[in-house]
Structure 1
Amino acid sequence: MWHQDRDAVAEVARSGNPLLLRDYSVICIFGKTVADIRLEPVLNQENVMGAVRVSVCASETCSRALELKGASTLIDIGKVSATLAHGVRNPLNAIKGAVVYLKHRYGSDETFVEFADIIDEEIAKLDGFITKFLSTSLLEMEKSRSDLHLLLEKVLKITSLQAQERNVRFVCDYGDVPFLEFDAFHLESAILNIVNNAIEAMGNGGTITFRTRLDTMTDRGQVTLDISDSGPGIPEGAFRTLLSPPRGNARDKGRGFGLFISREIIQHHGGHLEIINSKGNGATVRLCLPVESSHGETHAG
């Protein structure tokens, strides 16, 4: 332990004066951290210094400890999500059984059968989603070289009825971007979370714009997807904690949970998520995904 190229302990022992080393880099069990270290002489009964006391006060948590804390948060979220998924499946099976009975009981009514088939089909989709949700994790992604625009069109189709009910219009502004390596199941979930939040944020009426661009200014190159709504924007108090891990009932209607999960998914794809807030003029969620193994292939635009 050194102070101005001198042994700090020896200096305190020689001078008898306490010494404070601020922001000293020390080794901890997780790696390295920064701490304030106080060294002071310890006197015996004869008032003679017999030792030097060293007190360490860490001024920040080391990076590895923060990583472990983040992993623990994700594990807790995974447990809650799995419980929720199982809880949804039970009433889903009951609904499916009821539909089978009603189709058998009122099979002569063509209109009823038509709508019962729609319900049956949607139940099958939801059941398939739950099955895949429970059998995969962010660490087990199945990435493949895919078309981001086709994935967006699927998201638009899924959310179109919800948007129509709230008089929300979708606008697409697609650029020439390369195919990307991504897990379609997880990335679709991430984008759906953002779109659903945007629809709810606008209340009745508004526009959600989807804009894709190729950014060649970064080292590897990246594709940016901006999802912008024309709502009231995000309140400043909520904006500060929007992407932090959800705690208890701190998230209104679970919106923060969805954005947090979306960010984790994007980060596991090697990208990052940004929120650009314009109070009173809506908000933009920007997804930045790295260009990897694109081989120069682009969309028609």
Structure 2
Amino acid sequence: MNYINENIRKADLMYLIDHTSIQFSFVDRDYIYRVVNKAYIKNFNKSLDQIIGKKVAELLGNEMFDNIAKPRLDRALMGETVEYEAWFEFPYSQRSYKFVRYIPAHNNNGEIIGVVVSATDMTERKQMEEDRVFYEKLMLNQSRMAQIGEMIAFIAHQWRGPLNTLSTYLLRLKMDQNPTSSNSEIFERCETIISSLSDNIEDLYNFYSLKDTKHTRQLNSVANQAVSLLQHRISAENVVVKIDIPDDCTVDHDRSHLLHIFIVFLENAIDALHQTSQLYKQITIEAKCNATEILIDIHDNGNGISSDIAHCIFDAGVTTKSDTSHGHGLYFAHKIITNYLAGSVEILPSEEGAWFRIKLPK
């Protein structure tokens, strides 16, 4: 009778384990799967026969096994309960955030015979946390930009008068000169510089003012404004920027959002070209519009983005640079495109450099 009751209890236990959303597995001392529940099988999208009797490295891959799983399994096999949480992504399952626990398993003699591994899916909670952090940072960013906008507005007000005065004096000097004078080229250059300074201060004021300027505009004018604001970096890196956007490609989105997006992708391309040995450095911005959709392609001829980063390039903190303070530009651009503009952005396969495609509803 005791034997029957014991079997019933084991059967009930397995039923419960099989009908929980927590992923359970038992791994022996040789890192071989001996028991897995249905949630574990479903997560990896494999049959039971494809897991039981197989080494953990065969399922996770050698890199993940050597760097993540094995060190923790070894600690558990020494008697330690190990806990951690992280993002996981496999080619045969969706990207997910899990809380994982490694618990030593003992036999009746107290010897460790393997490890019980449990993984709890926390993707939804993690995404909510990231969204909350995003909106907090966005609010802080808007507050800072509003303050910068006020300062830029003050500077613009202070500069407009002197720039107009300089322009007037320059015109008088030019009129006093002989029309055939060699100084005419210098005057024209001075006029160009004054005009450029005036345009730049106006661009800065408009960008940082954060005013709702949603109305129909030419997309190429926004792209050219972004290039103008980054001209100092573009010139310093000897980068050629080519813009191929038809004049009739118009948009109705907020200008500050569009300008922000162009600046982020341009800055990332410039950073990528800074790291390349290419003598000729180029960034291309192309766009096509139809009655319902805007298609924007931004690509460069740099070193490109490695496959291990490409799949998570829009995640917070992910960067190809050694400086960990970076890694939020593309994250925020992605959020603005998807959350505010109801669009999408993706990386396209490219033989050279990085190629981003943005789709926006018109």
TM-score range, shorter chain: 0.5 to 0.7
Which one-letter code corresponds to 1:74 in the other structure?
A: F
Q: Evaluate the alpha carbon distance shift between residue 238 and residue 108 of structure 1 in structure 2; reply closer, same or farther with a 3 A threshold.
A: same
Partner residue of 1:270 out of 322, 325, 342? 342
Contact 1:177 1:212 in 2 (8 A): no
Which one-letter code corresponds to 2:327 in the other structure?
A: G
The aligned residue for residue 71 of structure 1 is 131
Partner residue of 1:16 out of 9, 22, 45? 9
Deviation at 1:266, TM superposition (A): 1.1
Instruction: Output the CA distance in 2 between the equivalents of 1:92 and 1:172.
Output: 28
Instruction: Output the CA distance in 2 between the equivalents of 1:197 and 1:175.
Output: 24
Contact 1:198 1:229 in 2 (8 A): yes
Contact 1:234 1:277 in 2 (8 A): no
Structure 2 residue 209 is the aligned partner of structure 1 residue 131: yes
Superposed, 1:39-188 pairs within 5 Å as: 59-61=120-122, 63=124, 65-82=125-142, 84-85=144-145, 122-123=200-201, 125-132=203-210, 143-160=214-231, 162-174=233-245, 179-188=250-259
The aligned residue for residue 260 of structure 2 is 189
Residue aligned with 2:338, SS: helix
Q: Deviations over 1:135-175 (max 9, x none)?
A: 67xxxxx6444443343343344445543443222234447
Listed as ranges, the gaps of 5+ residues in structure 2 are: 23-37, 41-117, 171-186
Higher relative contact order (CA 8 A, sep 6+): 1
Contact 2:220 2:243 in 1 (8 A): no
Superposed, 1:205-220 pairs within 5 Å as: 205-213=280-288
Residue aligned with 1:152, SS: helix
Contact 1:167 1:206 in 2 (8 A): yes
Percent of aligned pairs sharing the same letter: 19
Instruction: Output the CA distance in 1 between the equivalents of 2:167 and 2:129.
Output: 56
Contact 1:193 1:262 in 2 (8 A): yes
Contact 1:213 1:223 in 2 (8 A): yes
Q: Evaluate the alpha carbon distance shift between residue 121 and residue 145 of structure 1 in structure 2; reply closer, same or farther with a 3 A threshold.
A: closer
Which structure has the highest strand share of the two? 1
Which one-letter code corresponds to 1:16 in the other structure?
A: R
**TM-score, normalization: structure 1?**
0.57
Instruction: Output the CA distance in 2 between the equivalents of 1:167 and 1:143.
Output: 34
Q: Evaluate the alpha carbon distance shift between residue 277 and residue 202 of structure 1 in structure 2; reply closer, same or farther with a 3 A threshold.
A: farther
Deviation at 1:91, TM superposition (A): 7.9
Deviation at 1:241, TM superposition (A): 4.1
Superposed, 1:28-47 pairs within 5 Å as: none
The aligned residue for residue 244 of structure 1 is 315
Instruction: Output the CA distance in 1 between the equivalents of 2:220 and 2:153.
Output: 34
Contact 1:147 1:180 in 2 (8 A): yes
Contact 1:176 1:213 in 2 (8 A): no
Q: Deviations over 1:216-267 (max 9, x none)?
A: xxxx96432111101121245544543111389x874865322112111111
Listed as ranges, the gaps of 5+ residues in structure 1 are: 1-11, 27-33, 37-56, 137-141, 293-301
Deviation at 1:189, TM superposition (A): 1.0
Residue aligned with 2:121, SS: coil
Compare 254-263 and 115-124 and name the one that shifted more: 115-124
Deviation at 1:277, TM superposition (A): 5.6
Instruction: Output the CA distance in 1 between the equivalents of 2:350 and 2:220.
Output: 26
Q: Deviations over 1:17-67 (max 9, x none)?
A: 3233446469xxxxxxx978xxxxxxxxxxxxxxxxxxxx7731264x344
Instruction: Output the CA distance in 2 between the equivalents of 1:144 and 1:13.
Output: 73
Q: Deviations over 1:84-109 (max 9, x none)?
A: 54775798699779979999xx9998
Q: Evaluate the alpha carbon distance shift between residue 168 and residue 253 of structure 1 in structure 2; reply closer, same or farther with a 3 A threshold.
A: farther
Instruction: Output the CA distance in 2 between the equivalents of 1:168 and 1:58.
Output: 48
